[in-house]
Structure 1
Amino acid sequence: MTGTIGIIGSGLVGKAVARLAVRAGYNVVISNSRGPETLAGLVAELGPLARAGSVDEAITAGDIVTLSIQLAVFEALPADSFVGKVVLDQTNYYPGIGNFRRADLDKGELTSSELVQRHLRGAKVVKGVHNLGWIHMEHNARPRGDAERTTLPVAGDDAAAKAVVSGFIEDVGYDVVDAGSLAESWRIEPNTPIYFWPYVPAIPDGLTDAEAKKLYQQAGKPISPETARQLIDGTQRPSPIGGTLEGMPPIHVALFLELASADTVKT
């Protein structure tokens, strides 16, 4: 039996994870802050391996529980419900979005995933599937042995939890490298060499908006585990800390705003 993925957040990221999971044969329980009844259409699209639930139901059911949400709402997570759970932390620190800013993150006193682990004190938090956009989560996934298969990093303090999360990531279409502890996860945060840009295709000048959007939804050049390791090991801590929309491809921001206006991205 492959297991169940409990997904907290039904926005663009949560949907991408759900699609990858069901394609790989996992059961999925997906949740959001608005209630299971708002997810009927998505569950119908995902098929018989998926169902909607409350946040608590997704946590209870999940062999892995994903945080497919904005970091700004981490304190709303019911910490006691996560005790003993393997948690896949997909959050990122973007201090210019949602008026969420913390001095301890800005000063590098801890990483965003350490902050999440501090709140979910009884959980086993693993950072991963956070360093590429929702579009490329789906479009870059490849089966084992495929020459175009690329590599994602994970970081965490619990070796067994990292192994569980790595197995899931490998099942849904990616090779995996270990980037170290949660304290070292700054090496795979926004504005580092392995964050976002390696997974997107180059967009040449002279294309129409429609042509550029179509090309952007293709996979980027694959990264081998060896190359991923080199990128991680050679990283210097960014300053300032945290991502910005200006640091993203303009076409990505445009697609995000376009989809967000048509479909809520609330958690």
Structure 2
Amino acid sequence: MFKYSSEGNKIMKIAILGIGNIGKTLVRELTKVGHEIKVANSRGPETIDAQILASGARATTAEDAVKGVDVIILSIPFQRLSTVRPILGGVPEETVVIDTANYYPARDGAIDAIEVGQVESLWVIEQLGRPIAKAWNAIGARSFAIYGKAPGSPDRIAIPVSADRPVDKEVAMRLVDETGFDPFYAGSIAESWRQQPGSPVYCTDLKKEEMAAALPTAEKARLPIRRDLVAGVAQERFGAAKSNPDTDFLIPLNRLVFM
């Protein structure tokens, strides 16, 4: 028997693998609406900060986290996604898997298939051996942490979602909405390059109507050039220690270069 929230929505069992800047906010916001959250990292449950668990999430191993859940959210570095496949081996096909990661070759190491044009999320599907949805990759960690708004707010920021299976699309868009942002269906996984780094909708904090206008203007060949340009400027200004540059600096820069 499923549990339901006071609004009549089904309470889901969700595993979040990775509790970096995006993962922490996912835990905070999804526990607020009553979902049952298990969290795991690569170092073991005993290393997870108690503050992350204060909202009611439970720390466990990655192997245990993915058991008996409706949704698995991967919030881990892109270069480590290929290590997740064994953990997902016994996960039922109907379980929704959502990836939040982005490919940056200067950080992740060059991946030949992507360098010659393979869509990042199609590469991820090959590594995991199962379908995914793509969400929360196109918003900066600081914007995600502080700019969530109630549905219907006029200044609510949109987050693009790509998926192939109807269930993946439905669940990912619902969860994006529940984290405080307008979900915007960006199309199939094959078209998910439109929300990759360098795209007009990548970390530019657009509202839904703005995203609808910007998404079709993305030019696939130019994305890596623009991605690396902004990454280089951020590196020069903030250095390697600052992985989450100030929103007041980064959003205008992204809009200038990506749009």
Give the TM-score normalised by structure 2: 0.80
Q: How far apart are residue 43 of structure 1 and its match?
A: 4.1
The number of residues matched between the two structures is 229
1:150, CA displacement in angstroms? 1.3
1:154 alignment counterpart: 161
Identity %: 26
Correspondent of 2:140 among 133, 141, 146? 133
Q: CA RMSD in A?
A: 2.3
Correspondence 1:71 to 2:78: yes
1:189-204 pair list within 5 angstroms: 189-196=196-203, 198-199=204-205
Question: Which is bigger in relative contact order (C-alpha 8 A, separation at least 6)?
Answer: 1
| Mapped contact 1:90–1:127 kept (Cα < 8 A) | yes
Query: Which residues of structure 2 form unaligned runs of 5+?
Result: 5-10, 246-259
* CA shift in 2, pair 1:254/1:119, >3 Å: closer
How big is each residue's C-alpha offset from its partner over 1:44-71, in whole Å with a ceiling of 9 and x where there is no partner? 4x323x1001112221243221110111
TM-score, normalising length: structure 1 = 0.78
The answer as to 2:102 corresponding to 1:115 is: no
Provide the rounded CA distance (Å) in 2 between the counterparts of 1:182 and 1:252: 33
Q: Assess if the C-alpha contact under 8 Å between 1:80 and 1:120 holds in 2.
A: no
| Alpha carbons 1:83, 1:120 under 8 Å: kept | no
How far is 1:120 from its partner?
2.1
Cα 1:88–1:246 shift into 2, 3 Å: same
Query: 1:16-46 CA deviation, whole Å, 9 max, x = no partner?
Result: 21112122322211101111111152344x3
Distance in 2, matches of 1:252 and 1:143, equals 35
Work out whether 1:229 is the aligned partner of 2:216. Answer: no
Structure 1: tracts of 5 or more residues without a match: 200-222, 259-267
Inter-partner Cα distance in structure 1 for 2:119 and 2:92: 21
CA distance in 1, matches of 2:186, 2:239: 26
Q: What is aligned with 1:256? A: 243
The question of whether the paired residues in 2 share the 8 Å contact of 1:20 and 1:138 is answered with no
Write the distance in 1 (CA, Å) between the matches of 2:80 and 2:172: 23
1:91 to 92, 101, 107: 101
1:192/1:73 CA distance change after superposition, 3 Å:
same
1:67 and 1:87 in contact (8 A); partners too? yes
Distance 1:151 1:248, change over 3 A: farther
Summarize the Cα distance change of 1:226–1:175 in structure 2 as closer, same or farther, 3 Å threshold.
Answer: same
Please state how far the C-alpha of 1:83 moved relative to its aligned partner: 4.1
> Secondary structure at 1:226's aligned position in 2?
helix
Tell me if the contact between 2:81 and 2:128 (Cα under 8 Å) persists in the aligned partners: no
Deviation track 1:128-174 (CA, whole Å, cap 9, x = no partner) reads 10111211112121111112211110111112211111011111211
The 2-side partners of 1:5 and 1:186 are apart by 26
Letter in 2 for 1:256: S
